[in-house]
Amino acid sequence: MEHVQPTPARHNRLIGKLLLMVAGAFVFAFALVPLYDVLCAATGFNGKTAGLGVGSGEIRDGFGVGGLQSAAAPAPKVDTGRTVRVEFTGTVMPGLPWDMRPLTISLDIHPGELQQVSYLVRNTSNRTIVGQAVPSVTPGQAAQHFEKIECFCFSQQTLGPGEAREMPLAFIVKPEVDRNISHITLSYAFFSIDGQRQTLTSSREAR
Amino acid sequence: MSDEHLTPAFTDADLAHRRAASRRLGWLLGAIVLVIYLIGLFIKR
Amino acid sequence: MITATTHAAEHPAEHYPGGLMRWLTTTNHKDIGTMYLTFSLIMFFVGGLMILAVRAELFQPGLQLMKPEFFNQLIGVHALVMIFAALMPAATGFANWMLPLMIGAPDMALPRLNNWGFWLLPPAAILLTLPFTLALFGIGDGALATGWTFYAPLSVQGGMGVDFAILAVHILGISSIMGSINIIVTIFNMRAPGMTMMKLPLFAWGWLITAFLLIATLPVLAGAVTMLLTDRHFGTHFFDAAGGGDPILFQHLFWFFGHPEVYILLLPVWGLMPHVLSTFSRKPAYGYKAQVYSFIAIGLLSVVVWAHHFFTAGMPVPALIYFMFSTMAISLPLAVLFFCWIATMWKGAMTFETPMLFAVGFIVLFGIAGLTGLILADVAADAQYHHSYFVVAHFHYALFAGGIMGVMTGVYYWLPKWTGHMYSEKLGKLHFWLTVFSFNLTFIPQFFLGLAGMPRRIPDYALQFAEFNAISTLGAFVLGISQLLFAWNIWCCVRGGPKVESRVWEGAEGLEWELSSPPPHHSWEIQPVIK
C-alpha cells in the first residue's frame, strides 16, 4: 500500500472553513425562498397583486417609486381624465376537469372606480372537486396598483358534479397607476387542490 | 533561452525573423480594427 | 521567472497494487488525473453521439428519426454530460496532474478524498444515462426531458428521468465540491517554500477562483434540485403555484448557480492560456497581476448577474437595467485578459505547434463568444434572441471553442510531459484545422437561424430554415468524426513515440518542466525552493 501522510492540522482548519462555506451556500438557497417572496410582494414583480385579502390598506411601492415603504391608503378618488382597459382571462391547469371563462372579456374603466365582473366556472366531471384560483396581473408594474376588494381567489372553491357557478370579482385600479399603462390583463389559473399531483404525474396526456 | 534540445529547426536568426513578423502582423491587425472602427463612425442607420 | 534549486530525488519503485486494484485504490495525483481525463474523453464522445442524433433529426424539416420526447431527452442529457461529465472532469484532471508539479508539492493535500471524488463520477454518469436503457426495456419513459435547466413546473411534472438526473446532479456536485476543497487546500498549504501567492502559476490562480466559485454556488444548485425533489415526492410547494410557490423562483435559484458555472468551466482554461502563449512566443506572460485581478473580478461579478438568463420571464425595469449593466461589466476584466493574451504574443518569436494553434484559435473563436454575449446582455435586443438558435451558437462558441478547445490546448501542451512521448504533430495540426473548420460550419449558420427566429429545443422547424440546418448538421458530423483523430493521437502517444526531455518545449518556463517526462511517481519528494 502507498504511504499516505497524516493530514496536518492546518489542512483540517482550512477544510473546516471551506465546509462551513459549503453549508452556508446550501442554507442560502433555502433562505432565498422567503426572501424572494418578500421582494416580489414589495415590487409587484411577477404579477403578485397588492390586494391579498380583506382590508388590505397598503400601497406597496416598487423599486422605481421609492423602496420598501408602505403608507396608509388615501381615499380612492376617481381619475376621470383617463381610461384604462382591463382584460380578463383564465385557464384551467391540467388535472382539473373544469371549464372557466370570463363573462366580461374587457372593460374600460377610470382609475379609482370600483368595478365588478364575474367568471363562469363549470365542473365537467361527475365528482365534487375543490379548486383554487391563482391570479396574475400583467404588466407587473400595474400589479401593485390593482386591488381586489372581493375575489373568488381569496378562498378555495368547491363545485359539485356538473355544477356551474358565476364567481364574482370586485376590484379597483388605483389612480396611482402609471400614466403609461393603458392595458391591464388579469389572468387566473385554476388549480385542483385535492390529488393534483397524482393526476399530473400518473396520466400520460397531462404531461 | 539557451535550451539546445528539441525543435532544432528554429535557429536564432529564424526566431528573430519571427519576432519581426509578429510585430508587423500586430500593427497590421491594429490598423484593420481602426479602419473598421472609423468606417463605423460614418455608417448611418 | 521561477527557477528550482533542487531536483526531485530519484525514488526507488515502491510496492503498489497492479491492474484494476491500482486504479481503484490509487491516491496518487497523477493516476487520479489520468482517470479524470480518460473519463472526460469517454463522456465527451457519449455526449457527442447524443447531439449527433439530434443534428441528424434536424438535418431536414419534419420528424424522421425520433419522437419529440426522445429529442428532448437527448438535448438535456447532452448538456449535462458535456458540462458535468466532460468539461468539469477534464479541468479537474488538469488540476490533479499539474498543480502539484507546478507548485512544487509531492501530491495533492487530500489524496484519499481525491480518489473518492473521482470514483463518484462513474456512478453519476450511469444514473444520468441509465433511463435511456431502462426505457428500451419498457421501464419508465426515458431520461430527463426538460433540458438541462430542469425548469419548473415541467420538471415537477416530468417522469422518473428527472429523479435520476436530480440524484446524478447531487453526486456530481458532491464530487466537485470535494475536488475544490482539495485544490484550495493544496494551493494554500502545499506551495514550495518561497512561492508566494503572487508567484503562483496563472493556471493555479484560475483554478483557485474556480474552486471558490464551485464551493459558493454548487450547494445552491443542490438546494434547488432538493426542493424540486421534495416538490415531486414529499408534497412541498416551492415551485408549485397552486400551493403558493413560484416557478420563477426556480429560475433564480438555478441561474444563481448556472451563470458562475460558465466561469467555473472557463477559468481553468483562461489560466492555462498564458502558459501556452508564453511558451510558444518565447516571452513571459504579459500582465501577470492584471490577469490575476481580472480572474478575481470575474469571479466576484459572476455571482451577481444571473438574471440575464431570463430577461423575458418578467422583471421590474430597474432590475432589468441592473442585470444588463452588471453583465456588460464582466466584459471589462475579460477584455483585460484578451489584451494580455495578445500582448503576450506581440513581438514574440512565435512558432505554431499544435497547442499554439489551439490557443490562437481559442482567442479568435472565444472572442466571437464574448461579442455575441454582449448582444444577448442587451435587454432590448434579448427579447428577439432569447431562446433562439442565436443563444445556442453563442454558448457553443463559449463552451466548445472556449472550453473544449482550451482543454485540447492543454492536452496537446502537457501530453508529452505526462507520457514522456511526443504525439504526432501532423495529426494534431490536421485535428486542429478540421475542428476549427467544422466547428464554424456547424455554428455560424445557427447565428443566422436564431436571427431568423428559429427557436431552440424543438425537433421540427419551418421550411425556410432547411438550408442552414442542413449545413449545420453537415458541420456537426465532420466535427464529431474529426475528434476520433484526437483520441487516436492520444492513444498512440500513450503507447509510444519519440522520447521527449524534461523541458518539452523550447520556451517553456516553470517548475513542471524541471521534472523528468514522465515525472517520477512522487512528484517533489524534496520541495524545491523558489528564489
Confidence grade of residue A134 (pLDDT, cut at 50, 70, 90): confident
- Chains in contact with chain B (at least 3 beta-carbon pairs closer than 8 A): C
Name the range with the highest mean pLDDT among A98-107, B35-44, C297-306: C297-306
State pLDDT tens for residues C179-209. 999 999 999 999 999 999 999 999 999 999 9
> Is A74 contained in some domain?
yes
Judge if A87 and A21 occupy the same domain.
no
Tell me if A2 and C222 make a contact (CB, 8 A cut-off). Answer: no
> Is A93 contained in some domain?
yes
Mean pLDDT in residue range A48-67: 40
Strands A84-92 and A183-192: parallel
Judge if A30 and A53 occupy the same domain.
no
Q: Tell me, what's the pLDDT at A80? A: 81
Contact C493, C464 (CB under 8 A): no
C 7-46 near A (Cβ less than 8 A): 14, 16-17, 25-28
pLDDT at residue B5 greater than cutoff 60: no
Confidence grade of residue A2 (pLDDT, cut at 50, 70, 90): very low
Could you tell me the CA-to-CA distances from C283 to A49, A192, C350, C400, C415 in Å, in that order?
Answer: 62, 69, 9, 28, 22
* CB–CB contacts below 8 A, B to C: 43
Q: Tell me, what's the pLDDT at B34? A: 95
Instruction: List CB contacts of C431: < 8 A, sequence separation 6 or more.
Output: C354, C408, C482, C483, C485, C486, C489
Looking at per-residue pLDDT, the higher value among A147 and C180 belongs to: C180
DSSP secondary structure letters along C238-277: SS-GGGT--HHHHHHHHHHHHHHHHHHHHHHHHHHHHHHH
List A129's β-bridge partners, or say none.
A159
Is residue C184 within 8 angstroms of chain A, CB to CB?
yes
State pLDDT tens for residues C408-439. 999 999 999 999 999 999 999 999 999 999 99
- Chain C and chain A touch, per 3+ beta carbon pairs within 8 A: yes
Judge if A39 and A19 occupy the same domain.
yes
Mean pLDDT in residue range A106-134: 88
Mean pLDDT in residue range C35-47: 97
Tell me what percent of the residues of chain C surpass a pLDDT of 90: 82
Is residue C531 within 8 angstroms of chain B, CB to CB?
no
Could you tell me the CA-to-CA distances from C238 to A2, A53, C60, C175 in Å, in that order?
Answer: 48, 22, 40, 26
Residues of B in contact with C356 (CB under 8 A): none
> Is A80 contained in some domain?
yes
Distance from CA of C385 to the nearest CA of B (A): 20
pLDDT at residue C112 greater than cutoff 50: yes
Domain span at A181: 47-194+201-206
State pLDDT tens for residues A152-199. 888 888 888 888 999 989 998 888 888 888 888 898 988 887 654 444
Tell me if A46 and C215 make a contact (CB, 8 A cut-off). Answer: no
pLDDT at residue A207 greater than cutoff 70: no
> Is A136 contained in some domain?
yes
Strands A98-102 and A114-123: antiparallel
Judge if A16 and A101 occupy the same domain.
no
Is residue A45 within 8 angstroms of chain C, CB to CB?
yes
pLDDT at residue C54 greater than cutoff 90: yes
In this structure, what C-alpha cell is assigned to residue A137? 396581473
Specify the range with the lowest mean pLDDT, choosing from A3-12, C3-12, C228-237, C476-485.
C3-12
Looking at per-residue pLDDT, the higher value among A201 and A91 belongs to: A91
Tell me if C349 and B19 make a contact (CB, 8 A cut-off). Answer: yes
Judge if A20 and A105 occupy the same domain.
no
Judge if A53 and A149 occupy the same domain.
yes
Q: Tell me, what's the pLDDT at A57? A: 35
Q: Write the residue in B1, B3, B19 that is nearest to C347 by C-beta.
A: B19
Residues of C in contact with B23 (CB under 8 A): 346-347
Judge if A37 and A83 occupy the same domain.
no
Give the DSSP H or E segment for C295: helix C288-302
Mean pLDDT in residue range C120-141: 90
What is the pLDDT of chain C when averaged over all its residues? 92
> Is A2 contained in some domain?
no
Q: What ipTM was estimated for this complex?
A: 0.84
CATH, residue A143: 2.60.370.10
Number of domains composing chain A: 2
pLDDT at residue C4 greater than cutoff 60: no
Judge if A140 and A67 occupy the same domain.
yes
List C499's β-bridge partners, or say none.
C421
Tell me if C242 and A191 make a contact (CB, 8 A cut-off). Answer: yes
> Is A38 contained in some domain?
yes
Judge if A158 and A77 occupy the same domain.
yes
State pLDDT tens for residues C140-175. 888 899 999 999 888 988 888 999 999 999 999 999
> Is A1 contained in some domain?
no
Q: What are phi and psi of C307, to 5 degrees?
A: -70, -5
> Is A118 contained in some domain?
yes
Judge if A107 and A130 occupy the same domain.
yes
Judge if A84 and A27 occupy the same domain.
no
- Chains in contact with chain A (at least 3 beta-carbon pairs closer than 8 A): C
Judge if A56 and A147 occupy the same domain.
yes
Torsion of CA C299, C303, C304, C310, to 10 degrees: 130
Tell me if B22 and C347 make a contact (CB, 8 A cut-off). Answer: yes
